[in-house]
Amino acid sequence: MKFEHTVELPAARDRVWAFVMDVPSVAKCVPGLEGLEDLGGDKYRATMKVRVGPIGLALKSDLSIVEKDEAAGRAVLAVDAADKRIGGAVKAQMTMELGGTSPASTTLKIVTDAQVLGRIGDFGQPIIRKKADQTVGEIVENMKKALSTNPVG
């Protein structure tokens, strides 16, 4: 499944870059994310609790920044998440690209290519897409609040 989201964030490009590359800061913007652990070398582990319809998932997740190019404003992240209790997993690659709109605004484009495996895939693409869009919307709103109130760097 492929997801694309483009949003405007209320900060200069260099500030947005610093923020999105600070995984603990972004993690605070992700609803249901718990226990972020820095494994070193741009690798992290956490659990994301999320409800899809009537089912509650606890996705034990490994995230790594596999590519980052500050000059180009581009980063690639790999996510490997599983809920062994229900027998499902999500493997995803997220590409983030920044565009400078103005000194006070930056465009963030996120393209996610995800494989939804096992019983999680049984929810079906429309339900998964709706939940992904809802979650990204919440993350973006939280990022906007964080960028407008907290200095980065």
Domains: count for the chain? 1
Per-residue pLDDT of the chain (153 residues; tens, 9 = 90+): 999 999 999 999 999 999 999 999 999 999 999 999 999 999 999 999 998 877 889 999 999 999 999 999 999 999 999 999 988 899 999 999 999 768 889 999 999 999 988 888 888 888 888 888 899 999 999 999 999 875 544
* DSSP type of residue 102: E
- What tokens were used for 61? 């997740």
**pTM over 0.75, yes/no:** yes
SS3 state at 33? strand
SS3 state at 107? strand
Under a CB-based contact definition with an 8 Å cutoff, are residues 47 and 60 in contact? yes
Residue showing tokens 């495996």 = 117
- Domain containing 35: what range? 2-149
SS3 state at 23? helix
CATH number of the domain residue 17 falls in: 3.30.530.20
Kindly list the distances between the CA atom of residue 102 and the CA atoms of 14, 15, 22, 60, 110, in Å, as whole numbers in the listed order: 12, 12, 22, 38, 19
Under a CB-based contact definition with an 8 Å cutoff, are residues 82 and 62 in contact? no
